[in-house]
Amino acid sequence: MNTGNCNNKLKILKGRNIIINNSIKEASVLVRNGIICGIKEYNYEPTEEFDLLISKELSENKDIVIMGGLVDSHVHVNEPGRTEWEGFVCATSAAAAGGVTTIIDMPLNSSPVTTSLDSLNKKIEAMKDKLRVDVGLLGGIVPGNSNEIKRMVLEGGVVGFKSFLVHSGIDEFPHVQETDIQEAMEIMKSLAVEEGGRDVVMMFHAEIGEPIEKATAKLIEENADPRKYNTFLQSRPREAENIAINMILELSKKNNVRTHIVHLSSSDILDTLDNAIHKEKIPITAETTFHYLYFVSEKVPDGETLYKCCPPVREEENKELLWQALQRGTINIIVSDHSPCTLELKLVEEGDFMKAWGGISSLQLGLPIIWTEAKKRDIPIHNLSKWMSDEPARLVGLNDRKGSIKIGRDADFVVWNPKEEFVVDQDKLMVKNKHSPYHQQRLFGIIYETILRGDSIFKKDQERITKVTGQRLIQTKIHTNPTYPKPFLPTIELLNSLDEPEFFNCIHLLFEAAPPLATRLYAKKPFRSYQELINEAESIIGSLGDEDKIVVINAHPRIGLNPAEIKKTSSISFREQGLENEKIDERVIEIYSTLKTLNEQYEKQFGFKFVEFVNGRSKEQIIPVLRERLNNSKDQELKTGLKAMTDISNARLSKLIQQ
Ligand SMILES: NC(=O)NC(NC(N)=O)C(=O)[O-]
Ligand SMILES: [Zn+2]
Ligand SMILES: [Zn+2]
């Protein structure tokens, strides 16, 4: 993957309090080409030349904490289109200043909304040369656009989808009904199976309209004061969320499709959700937001419409239940739901909560907001890395590269001092519209530096972010299963860091599924290069007994097997045998049946499959080779077959390494 700074020079990040694997310790984190490639003791001194990633002073400061860059999976950037509300330059600058190295952009309130491949491409165009941090994009699912879903994933690289179950606030992004969701889930299911295991989540704004309309009508009848926050709060009853979430639960269970509840506010539903997640194992997750964990409805002043968002900030008791749900794992993600707009739309003069735009601006402040509340509850600091980096990255299938500090992931870090207090000055925020309900709040946690893929992009008191090194993120399937459309291997550092099953998935791309080989290779990690890995494979194969050698050879599909069969087991072989564009006619059928007969004869004679490095030759050209090899001895054939295997691996290597 293009990391921007591919000079191969070693960089080291040293710190006295680094959050790694849910614990905090002093360490040296090694970085090469923007990727974390090692974790050593604090005093580690490499033999080769290296650069320190942060100053000695920060490295030695015992108050400084370092963790993986934050991943905010719920941000409304609103570009193209509503760039007077926000935009990629301001939003990604604010993210960088807030220690957020990845944001996931919502499919609204940009204009056009991102509900087709065409509008997605317009957004991708609008991002060019603006990104200060990495950005993943969500597609939108609205009534009638199900034909766009697959294209937005496979051609557009969206990392998930978002829908509303209630009016979204803008007419061009209509909300869906249950039937629309079911139709979309059918497509998600086929994506998960047919297209190489693409697994993209469906996220939902889970409120339904009916209880809201009823409550609002009653409030109007009672002539309730729209300047009172309580009027707005009563107009968005918890029941609207509870019913919506139950519907999503049922659909997720029925279709076994991954779903996610965004900005959950109603604590009523937490036990149902916990049971669904932990007992029924329904593939559903839920996030909550900074404001539901920080503010309480009882303290929102009359007319202060900056506090308005949907669902609403609820009561103190509700807030405490959300904090407990986080610690119980019912809610696993905390996000900003950064939904800015122009000041005019917030109607701050009138102070009319019922008419003002719903949305709160907080993208740059998440870490101190959440830490200020977490420390009151003696919540360990490493939980923030889980809730604000690892889990959101996993939600959108980017956790192979993003999340907490782990060998193989991008070298994204936030360097901060949780002991230092400051007062929020909204005028210093880097977002476009600076009004925020957090203005003048006293928070703990000052960010000293933000690092994106091994490169410092923000230092404390910096007023503008000048580096434009952010990239658009798409899911990279490192443990690609063979039928994945465009399989490729991860960097060797990432491969070395993989657990056994993921390691095997990658190795199978080189040697097909050969356990005796893959297990021994896994035991030989780490490798300095793939060439070293293939050389190691050759010596392992040479050391195997005949029985294991035969297992390794038999992992390859037969040449001349019918194409549909091969595609199911190995899209690599499928392509290598030129089956992708093959027209099946009389002559081809004749060739297949000849090969089938010869394969059967070969296997009967030697007891294992015929393996040949096709190397672009046609099946017809392989027939005389196979006939000729029938005249050899078993030992000779075993050697020739295994040699063909490593020739295939070397040829694949050049094609599979991602440029
Ligand atoms: N169109 C919006 O930006 N809506 C957002 N507004 C909020 N949360 O008040 C949201 O996430 O629903
Ligand atoms: Zn929403
Ligand atoms: Zn939102």
Expressed as residue numbers, the domain containing 14 is: 10-60
pLDDT for 330 equals 98
Average pLDDT over residues 463-483: 77
- Measured in Å, residue 169 CA sits from the centre of ligand 2 at 9
In a domain, 343, yes or no: no
pLDDT for 391 equals 98
479: confidence class by pLDDT, cuts 50, 70, 90? very low
Pairwise CA distance, residues 85 & 356, whole Å: 14
Domain count, the chain: 3
**Among 73, 74, 75, 76, which is best to mutate for testing ligand 1, by the most ligand atoms less than 8 A from CB?**
76
- Residue closest by Cα to atom 12 of ligand 1: 310
In a domain, 484, yes or no: no
Domain check: are 168 and 24 in the same one? Answer: no
Best-predicted range by mean pLDDT among 176-180, 191-195, 580-584?
176-180
**Among 167, 175, 291, 310, which is best to mutate for testing ligand 1, by the most ligand atoms less than 8 A from CB?**
310
Domain check: are 604 and 513 in the same one? Answer: yes
- For the CA of 168, the closest atom of ligand 1 is 1
37: confidence class by pLDDT, cuts 50, 70, 90? confident
DSSP letter at 348? Answer: T
Domain check: are 571 and 651 in the same one? Answer: yes
Please say which residue of 473, 504, 519 terminates a domain: 473
Pairwise CA distance, residues 413 & 452, whole Å: 7
205 pocket-lining for ligand 1 (C-beta < 6 Å): yes
Average pLDDT, the chain: 92
In a domain, 480, yes or no: no
Please say which residue of 60, 79, 99 terminates a domain: 60
Write the CATH number for 171: 3.20.20.140
What is the enclosing helix (H) or strand (E) of 162?
strand 160-164
- For the CA of 170, the closest atom of ligand 1 is 1
358 pocket-lining for ligand 1 (C-beta < 6 Å): yes
pTM above 0.90, yes or no: no
Average pLDDT over residues 586-591: 82
Cis peptide before 211 (omega within 30 of 0): no
In a domain, 308, yes or no: no
Pairwise CA distance, residues 347 & 331, whole Å: 33
Per DSSP, the three-state class of 203 is strand
Domain check: are 570 and 594 in the same one? Answer: yes
Assembly ipTM: 0.97
Domain check: are 186 and 279 in the same one? Answer: yes
Is the predicted pLDDT of residue 481 greater than 60, yes or no? Answer: no
Domain check: are 51 and 115 in the same one? Answer: no
Best-predicted range by mean pLDDT among 208-217, 545-554, 581-590?
208-217
Average pLDDT over residues 261-267: 98
310 pocket-lining for ligand 1 (C-beta < 6 Å): yes
Domain check: are 32 and 138 in the same one? Answer: no
Residue 626 token pair: 């196979």
> Higher model confidence: residue 179 or residue 2?
179
Residue 391 token pair: 């889990």
Domain check: are 26 and 112 in the same one? Answer: no
Beta carbons of 109 and 76 less than 8 angstroms apart:
yes
In a domain, 157, yes or no: yes
In a domain, 5, yes or no: no
> Higher model confidence: residue 652 or residue 150?
150
- Residue closest by Cα to atom 11 of ligand 1: 337
Domain check: are 250 and 154 in the same one? Answer: yes
The percentage of the chain sitting over the pLDDT mark of 90, rounded to a whole number, equals 77
Torsion sign, CA atoms 56, 57, 58, 59: positive
pLDDT for 568 equals 60
Which of 283, 278, 210 is closest to 251 using CA atoms?
283
- For the CA of 359, the closest atom of ligand 1 is 9
Domain check: are 28 and 155 in the same one? Answer: no
In a domain, 214, yes or no: no
Is the predicted pLDDT of residue 105 greater than 80, yes or no? Answer: yes
92 pocket-lining for ligand 1 (C-beta < 6 Å): no
Residue 487 token pair: 């399989």
362 pocket-lining for ligand 1 (C-beta < 6 Å): no
In a domain, 303, yes or no: no
Write the CATH number for 625: 1.10.3330.10
- Measured in Å, residue 306 CA sits from the centre of ligand 1 at 13
Average pLDDT over residues 388-415: 94
Best-predicted range by mean pLDDT among 241-250, 540-549, 573-582, 649-658?
241-250
Domain check: are 509 and 643 in the same one? Answer: yes
Is the predicted pLDDT of residue 1 greater than 60, yes or no? Answer: no
Is the predicted pLDDT of residue 525 greater than 50, yes or no? Answer: yes
Domain check: are 97 and 156 in the same one? Answer: yes
**Among 168, 289, 335, which is best to mutate for testing ligand 1, by the most ligand atoms less than 8 A from CB?**
168
> Higher model confidence: residue 3 or residue 28?
28
